[in-house]
A and B are shown apart, each in its own frame.
Chain A
Amino acid sequence: MKTRLPPMSSAQRTIWLIGIAGVLFFILAPLYLLVKYSISDSASINTGGAPVPFWPYHPTLINYWYLFTDSQFYKVICSSLFIALGTVVVSMMLGIPAAYVLGRYEVPGRKTLMLGLISVRLFPDISSVVPVTEFFIRFDAQNTYWGIVLAHTLLALPYVIFIGIGSFESIPRDLEQQARVMGASRFQIFRRILLPLSVPGLVAIAIYTFLLSWDEFVFAYFLLGLGKISTLTLYLKQKMTYAPPQNLLATISVCLSLPVILFAMLMQKYMTAGITQGSVK
């Protein structure tokens, strides 16, 4: 929305410009420095008392080369991808049908049920992780792929359901009624009408779920520890534990953030459509 505000005096305008520039600096400078560290040679980090340069003496991609030739890193990337995709599949399989019912049907005790569905997320992650880990230990699900996928599903599912409800609610009911009059079954209506129409919302949900799992740390740390199966967040933490070279930490951080930023940019169209779908009732 464009706001028509009274014009600013020149002094106010200067203050406003300084404010904008200052905030942009405080947001972009640390990110620039992170990328700078990731392409820094060791002489630009261990400067022997000289100031750490704002641009590396000899910019290099050797840190990326080191990472991408490290077999452990590939294993970690594959684990992270597998866990994130597994979380997307399980969350969508459970959440989308539930969202469909809650968005399109009169459900008795709907409000109480919705509260029940979201209640588990009202607990702080760090409070619910101890009981969940203890529960998983009992079923030997600690240090397993399916254990961490189930835990991440627990985190993502309420969001999947709530955003999904918004997506399904935004589709006109007339379409469904007309299809029913023409003899379509409930499954056909869901598959042929509601699912295709809610694609933007579903893509937004899938991306959100993927990213939630991709950069999740607390449950991964408690359930997987620094053991056999590792995610990218755990890999970063593991490197931090042993007097880490800063350029390597920065490189892992960039690799961890890139999919998040790229997904957010590439799928902005779907995300916006999904969010709009969720908000219009």
Chain B
Amino acid sequence: MAFKPFKITPSARRLLELWPLFPAAVYLIGFLIVVVSYLFALSFSFADEHGVTIFPSFESLRAVFAAPEFNSAFVNTIAFVAVGTPLELIVGLALALLVYRSFHLRNIVRSIFIIPLAIPALVTATMLFILFDFPGGHINHLLMGKYCFLPAVLHNPINWRGVKLLALGIALAGKVWRDMPISMLILLAGLNAIDPELFDAAKTMGAGLRQRLWRIVVPLILPSISTVVLLRSLEMWKEFIFPFILAGQNNLLGTLIEILYNNWGNAGEAAVVSLTLVVCIVVTALVYLVFIEFVKKLTARR
């Protein structure tokens, strides 16, 4: 039998040239497939009392959506997103406006403003865990007027992590404290793109500080604002560490996943909540993008 030499076609040769890309691509796309397939497989499986796994089954979905713990976590998460997103925007904008102007030590001040981002989230949460301790943390002592420089606001110490609203509030405060530099940097980039002469012109024409802020700054940094709102709202949905350490029994969807998986050993229900979280994030992003497109069209018509 005649030997037929193996010929590499030009397109195959081109593909072979790309080989260094393949291990990483296989790794990431492989894990993407694992994550998606396991999420669906676990969500639609159910282990009966004999340990036999039934697939497909809607039992895990039914159990999760009927559970009051899920409803409570879902409402808490929505509240977390609804309050946290504008809060991060406002704090980020305030910080950006403060360091926008040139001044001595501006670089040092800006570096200090970025420090919270360098602190691991778990450490920030631990810091708040200590400061808001009950009954003897610094915050309780401050509010009880134990230091001479502040009058008493409280008579008895507050169990911060024991009251739902306060516990979620501290978790939210920690999240905003740690992430505010991100919002600041995005908004600062938007502010730096504005021509400073616009402010001069506006001031010459008699515009006050508030008018300059609302009529010049805000409209011109709208793209940065929309980026902050989108990114921050998605981050708020994803949040786990701060409520995990600080919010006690007041679960968000993230901490509910942990409880279902680690405490109750229920991978199916944990997967259902995980999937719900992904769906919420996708829906938020889509609704937001549609809304932004709508606003753009509306302003273009005007």
Chain A residues in the interface with B (C-beta under 8 A): 1-6, 8, 12, 16, 19-20, 23-24, 26-28, 30-31, 33-34, 37, 45-47, 50-52, 94-95, 97-98, 100-102, 105, 107, 113, 116-120, 123-135, 153-154, 157-158, 161, 186, 214-215, 217-218, 221-222, 225, 233, 236-237, 240, 246, 249-250, 252-253, 256-257, 260-261, 264
B23 touches A124 (CB 8 A): no
Residues of A within 8 Å of B17, CB to CB, are 105, 186
Residues of B within 8 Å of A47, CB to CB, are 136
Give per-residue flags for B101-121: 1 if the beta carbon is below 8 A from chain A beta carbons, else 0: 110000001001101101111
B42 touches A130 (CB 8 A): yes
Residues of B within 8 Å of A264, CB to CB, are 118
Bound: A120/B153 CA distance, A:
48
For the complex, would chain A's binding face be called helix, strand, loop or mixed by DSSP majority? helix
Given A33-B131, A120-B32, A130-B257, check contact A233 B120 (CB 8 Å): yes
B254 touches A124 (CB 8 A): yes
CB of B300 closer than 8 Å to a CB of A: no
Please tell me which one of the listed residues B147, B262, B274 contacts residue A127 in the complex, with CB atoms under 8 A apart: B274
Which among B51-59, B78-86, B163-171, B234-242 touches the partner chain? B234-242
Bound: A117/B101 CA distance, A:
39
Bound: A221/B23 CA distance, A:
27
Please tell me which one of the listed residues B115, B241, B270 contacts residue A217 in the complex, with CB atoms under 8 A apart: B241
What are some 24 contacts across the A-B interface (CB < 8 A)? A3-B100, A12-B209, A16-B101, A20-B109, A23-B113, A27-B116, A30-B177, A34-B130, A47-B136, A50-B146, A52-B138, A97-B24, A101-B20, A120-B35, A127-B274, A130-B271, A134-B267, A186-B17, A236-B126, A240-B129, A246-B130, A249-B126, A252-B126, A253-B123
B119 touches A97 (CB 8 A): no
Max count, chain A CB within 10 A of own CB: residue among B146, B203, B270: B270
CB of B98 closer than 8 Å to a CB of A: yes
Given A94-B24, A120-B28, A249-B129, check contact A19 B98 (CB 8 Å): yes
B199 touches A5 (CB 8 A): yes
Residues of B within 8 Å of A233, CB to CB, are 120, 122
- The closest CB in chain B to the CB of A100 belongs to B20
B102 touches A130 (CB 8 A): no
Nearest CB on A from B77, distance (A): 11
Residues of A within 8 Å of B262, CB to CB, are 222, 225
Residues of B within 8 Å of A23, CB to CB, are 94-95, 98, 113
- The closest CB in chain A to the CB of B181 belongs to A27
Across the A-B interface, the 8 shortest Cβ-Cβ residue pairs: A97-B20, A131-B38, A215-B120, A51-B146, A98-B24, A124-B238, A127-B274, A101-B21
CB of B87 closer than 8 Å to a CB of A: no
Nearest CB on A from B105, distance (A): 10
- The closest CB in chain B to the CB of A225 belongs to B262
B122 touches A119 (CB 8 A): no
Residues of A within 8 Å of B71, CB to CB, are none
Nearest CB on A from B85, distance (A): 16
B126 touches A253 (CB 8 A): yes
CB of B278 closer than 8 Å to a CB of A: yes
A134 touches B42 (CB 8 A): yes
Nearest CB on B from A255, distance (A): 10
Please tell me which one of the listed residues A26, A116, A130 contacts residue B28 in the complex, with CB atoms under 8 A apart: A116
B127 touches A27 (CB 8 A): no
B238 touches A126 (CB 8 A): yes
B25 touches A256 (CB 8 A): no
Nearest CB on B from A83, distance (A): 15
CB of B88 closer than 8 Å to a CB of A: no
Residues of A within 8 Å of B94, CB to CB, are 19, 23
- The closest CB in chain A to the CB of B15 belongs to A108
User: 7 more A-B contacts (CB under 8 A) besides A5-B100, A154-B27?
Assistant: A94-B23, A116-B25, A117-B28, A123-B35, A158-B28, A215-B121, A260-B118
A126 touches B21 (CB 8 A): no
CB of B179 closer than 8 Å to a CB of A: no
B240 touches A125 (CB 8 A): yes
Nearest CB on B from A88, distance (A): 15
Residues of B within 8 Å of A134, CB to CB, are 38, 42, 267
CB of B275 closer than 8 Å to a CB of A: yes
- B27-79 residues at the A interface, CB under 8 angstroms: 27-29, 31-32, 34-39, 42
A51 touches B141 (CB 8 A): yes
Please tell me which one of the listed residues B25, B101, B127, B177 contacts residue A98 in the complex, with CB atoms under 8 A apart: B25
Bound: A188/B194 CA distance, A:
45
Given A116-B25, A124-B238, A131-B271, check contact A24 B109 (CB 8 Å): yes
A253 touches B127 (CB 8 A): yes
Residues of A within 8 Å of B203, CB to CB, are 6
Bound: A135/B122 CA distance, A:
26
Residues of B within 8 Å of A129, CB to CB, are 257
B192 touches A257 (CB 8 A): no
Residues of B within 8 Å of A261, CB to CB, are 115, 118-119
